[in-house]
Amino acid sequence: MSWKGRKKLIEELAMVLVKVRALQVGTFTLSSGKLSSYYVDLRAVPSFPGAYRYVIDAYLALIKNGVGLKKFDEIAGIPTAGLAFSSPVALELGKPMIYVRKEEKDYGRKRRIEGSVNPGSRVLVMDDLITTGHSVLGGIEAIREEGAEVKDVVVLIDRLEGGRSNLKKAGVTLHSLTDILELVRTLHERDEIPDDAMKAIRAQVSGRQ
């Protein structure tokens, strides 16, 4: 996916994420228990208004240039990080927003979806990043159960661990602004990360694709 200004946007995004420590290199233990040579936590971004504004603008550019505003009627956020970005984006675009609960309510209508879903509407799903895609697919299933249509998912970063292919099997296209290799390559070219960190991340990604 390419459009005018995308490369510059990614270069600036890489520097923004490093500055607010939303992207770090080293050795980290993930929630799954696996070791990782890098760590991305976009939940930190809203604590820095300048960085937050920049990331929102990056999402808007991706949606306008990569998806197209006429291809969806509503926006759905995936908790928890996805909600921090889907809310301002929906407001900026003047689109209705819904969100997917992590767990079904055990009272009332016992739904996993909060907000008004119009049967037959086209829903654009938003999240911060994608790994295997399992959490996003769970959200898509819940939205489809409400009678809406999901064909597109937008994320800022693809971790390159099978998410794109898993979504494709479900009939969904992934639109990512960038991926982890492009980000770290950009940072490496600017001497923001050392050679050994770059090699470790490349090895990690190649071993999980």
Q: What is the domain partition of the chain in residue ranges?
A: 6-208
- Strand, helix or coil for residue 202: helix
* pLDDT digit string, tens, across residues 50-60: 999 999 999 99
Distance of CA 108 to the CA centre of its chain: 30
Residues 6+ apart with CB under 8 A from 13: 54, 55, 58, 156, 177, 178, 183
Residue-level pLDDT at 35: 87
pLDDT at 47 over 60: yes
Segment 15-42 shows an average pLDDT of 90
Residue-level pLDDT at 207: 73
**Taking the model in full, what pTM does it have?**
0.92
pLDDT at 107 over 70: no
Residue-level pLDDT at 5: 87
* pLDDT digit string, tens, across residues 132-151: 999 899 999 999 999 999 99
pLDDT at 36 over 80: yes
* Residue spans of beta strands (DSSP E) within the chain: 23-29, 35-40, 74-77, 97-100, 113-114, 122-126, 129-130, 149-158, 173-179
Task: Check if CATH label 3.30.70.920 holds for domain 6-208.
Answer: no
